[in-house]
Structure formats: structure tokens, C-alpha cells
Chains A and B, each alone.
Chain A
Amino acid sequence: MTLTRRGFIKLSGATLASSSMSAMGFGGCGAALAESVRPYKLAAAKETRNTCTYCSVACGILIYTSGDGAKNAHSNIMHIEGDPDHPVNRGTLCPKGSALLDVVHSPGRLQVPKYRAPGSNEFKEVTWDFALDRIARLMKDDRDANFIAKNEKGQTVNRWLTTGMLAASATSNETALLTWKVARSFGMLVFDNQARV
């Protein structure tokens, strides 16, 4: 008996209450009005002008980093978008450029020098000093052993053919000049870049 009466009251109460609610202008939307759209995340980010690393359209990009540069704030690249001032891309970016953030932070980014010994089936982490000393030794020994000062005709040729180099094609001109100087000072001729592929 009591049970059902309560049920009955609940029902009529419901109608009553709801009507009064609506009269008071409630619909539970108070919550929504308190809401805001997602905060604009670049408000305090640092903006750096750069050039897309991929193709030769060389779109201008804006790199946004967190942190205001304060000594204790370790800044992190958190967003990249097109530079609207750039005469070619005018702020646009292709699917690669729009995803530059993911290549900067790719799990595939190398963190430390690694070395693979002859016959080994693994890379092991090494120090820069180990890697560079070993490289210098290998290169010098190879150069000394195989440097050609004169060819069979007795002409001075000063070339080193047994070590070759492929130069990057996304590095700066400054890196390129330095690389040219170093490679040629060794007498390297087996020297190429990505121009063809």
C-alpha cells in the first residue's frame, strides 16, 4: 500500500515538479552555459619562423613551442602550422607539412650514437667519443692505404676512391659548404646527393 502510494505521488510529483522547473526556465542547460569552447592553445606559445623540411616548395612554417623561455621551463614544440606571410604557401601546408609535429616527435627519432660490431645482430649504445675516434681511425687508415697521388700515367690526381659519401638534401647550405670542404679536403670523389632520386 505505502509503496504504491509513493509511486503514485512520485508520478504526479514528477509532472508537477517538471512543469515548475520549466516555468523557472531550467532544463539542466545551466551546465552548458557554464561551458566554454576549448581554450585557444597558442595564446602564450613561443612562435618561431622556419621552413618545411620536406619538398622544394619550401613552405614557410610557424613552430610553436611551450614555455616562455624562462630558464627553468624546458620548452617543447607543441604545434606547427603554415606561415600566412609566406608568398608561396600563404599559410597552407600539405598533409606532410601539416603533420611535421609528428616527425619532430617521432618515436623513430634517434637519441644516442649506436654502434654495430662486425657480425653482430644488434646495435649497442656508445659515447660520441667512441664513435668519432673509431670513425676517424677507420677513415684515416683507409685513406692512407688507398689514396691515389698519381695515376698510372704518372699524372697528379690526389684522389681517394675507397670511401664514399652521400650528402643529405634537407640540410642547410651552410652544412653543405662545410661538408664539401671536409669531403674534398680528404680527396673524395665518390660523392653525391639526392638530386637524382
Chain B
Amino acid sequence: MTRPPGALTRNDTVTRINHWITAACFILLTVSGLSMFDPLLYWMSNLFGSGQWARGAHPWIGIVLFVSYTGLVIQFWRDNMWNRDDIAWMKKIDRVLANDEEDVPEVGRFNAGQKFVFWSMALLIPILLITGLIIWQTYFWTWTSIPTQRAGLLIHSLCAIAAILIWIVHVYAAIWVRGSMRAMTQGYVTPGWAWRHHRKWFRSLVATGSNGPRPNVVTRETRE
């Protein structure tokens, strides 16, 4: 891969691999899950060979997703902490959608939209895991009462739908904001991209002489 000079690292290799494992799991879960959710989509189970296979694979993939997403949480949680600027940014969301970010407050490594996606998934995935275990017939059907399992099914479905909707937003954003895809595939962005979309993040890199993904730590000594 050719990386243009001056390019900034947006996501390093570990992060990218971790992200794509999560993405793959999510897609497989969506496909197998929807096939069991609505007969309209049952045919999707054929992508797994059969309904029996889709049903069998789904919970195991779910566990991988949970572990993998935990990895993302560990790597991203600090940059996703909410702050004042996010509210200001949200207020200008119409400008953002209109691709005109001039008087939109400068954004750090992640904007409020990305933070929203991050935290909702961080909330939904554990719920999906727990309810998923409750309704996992093969191993846990005797562990809880049938009414509990019914509730589990309902919550699991609702959370899954929510997750899918959020995922769609996430995917579209990646397509819409050119360069984001490369940021998660090859991992780098151009300074211009950073200046345009995450100016505060860009400034911090420049200031500390870092080229991403996080600013170098500046101490008193290094400062002086």
C-alpha cells in the first residue's frame, strides 16, 4: 500500500483488525438473526447452509462479537468521552448533513455522532449477550423460567433491531464522508481530511508532533 507523505494514522493495525472482526460478526449475526426473526428473511439462513446451521452458529458468533467489541471499547473509550463541544456540534448537525462544516465547532478525534454509535453499541451488545444466553435453547433452557425466556426473546429482538438501525447510520456515514473508509481499511487520512472533519484532533497531533492516531504526550521537560 502506498501511503502519501504527510498522511496521518487514523486507526492503527490492531484497531483495524479488531474493527473488521466485529463488523464481520455483526453482519453474520444480522443475517442469521433476521432469518429467524421474520419468515420474509428466512431464506437468508441458506447463506449458512440451513436454518439449523444459522440457528446453531448465531449464538457462537454473538460471543465472538461481544469479546471483539470489548476490545474496541478498551481502545476507544477515552476518545469517546462526552464534552461541551459535542453539544455545540449537535446543534449544528444540519450544517454537518449539508456538508458545510465551516462554522461547526472544531471536533476532536470523534464527533458526537460517532460517540453516539460507539456508546449505544456498548450498551446494546451486553444486553444482547445476556438475553441471548437466556434464550440459548441448547445449553440454558432449564436455567430460567419460560416467561423469562419469552421476555428475553422480545428484548433480544428489540435490541437487535436498534443495533441494526445504528449500524446502518454507521455504515452510511462511512460511505458519505469520503476518506473514512480508507481510514478503517488502510488506516490513514490526509491532513486535509483531518483539518476538515476533526480539526481539534489534527491540531493536537501537529502540536505534539504526532502523526496519529493519538497526540504525543507533552511533558514539562519536553515542553520548556
Contacts and interface: CB of A to CB of B under 8 A. Distances in A.
Instruction: Give yes or no for direct A-B contact (beta carbon below 8 Å).
Output: yes
Interface string B42-70: 11100000010000000000000000000
A11 B172 CA distance: 12
B42 A27 contact: yes
Nearest to A6: B27
Contacts, number: 44
Given A1-B185, A28-B42, A14 B171 contact: no
A22 B27 CA distance: 23
A5 B182 CA distance: 13
A21 B27 contact: no
Interface in B1-39: 20, 23, 27, 30-31, 34, 38-39
B181 A1 contact: yes
Contact of A28 (B31, B43, B168): B43
B158 interface: no
A8 to B, nearest CB: 6
B106 to A, nearest CB: 26
A105 to B, nearest CB: 34
Q: Which applies to chain B's interface (DSSP): helix, strand, loop or mixed?
A: helix
Contacts of A1: 175, 181-182, 185
Contacts of B41: 14, 18
Interface in B173-212: 174-175, 181-182, 185
Contact of A4 (B39, B43, B175): B175
B218 interface: no
A7 B43 contact: no
Contacts of B23: 3, 7
A4 B174 contact: yes
A27 B175 CA distance: 33
B40 interface: yes
Given A8-B171, A8-B175, A14-B34, A3 B40 contact: no
Nearest to A18: B40
A19 interface: yes
A100 B168 CA distance: 64
A10 interface: yes
A180 to B, nearest CB: 60
Contacts of A27: 39-40, 42
A21 B181 contact: no
A39 to B, nearest CB: 24
Nearest to B51: A28
B32 to A, nearest CB: 12
A191 interface: no
Nearest to A17: B43
Interface string B74-91: 000000000000000000
B43 A21 contact: yes
Interface in B91-114: none
B185 A19 contact: no
Contacts of A115: none
A19 B181 contact: no
Contacts of B174: 4
B181 to A, nearest CB: 4
A128 interface: no
Q: Which 6 A-B pairs have the closest CB atoms?
A: A1-B181, A18-B40, A27-B39, A28-B42, A18-B41, A22-B40
Interface of B: 20, 23, 27, 30-31, 34, 38-44, 51, 168, 171-172, 174-175, 181-182, 185
20 contacts: A1-B175, A3-B20, A3-B23, A4-B174, A4-B181, A7-B23, A7-B171, A8-B175, A11-B30, A11-B168, A14-B41, A18-B43, A18-B44, A21-B43, A22-B40, A27-B39, A27-B42, A28-B39, A28-B42, A28-B51
Given A14-B44, A18-B38, A18-B41, 16 more contacts: A1-B175, A1-B182, A3-B20, A3-B23, A4-B175, A7-B23, A8-B175, A11-B168, A14-B34, A17-B43, A18-B44, A19-B40, A21-B40, A21-B43, A26-B43, A28-B42
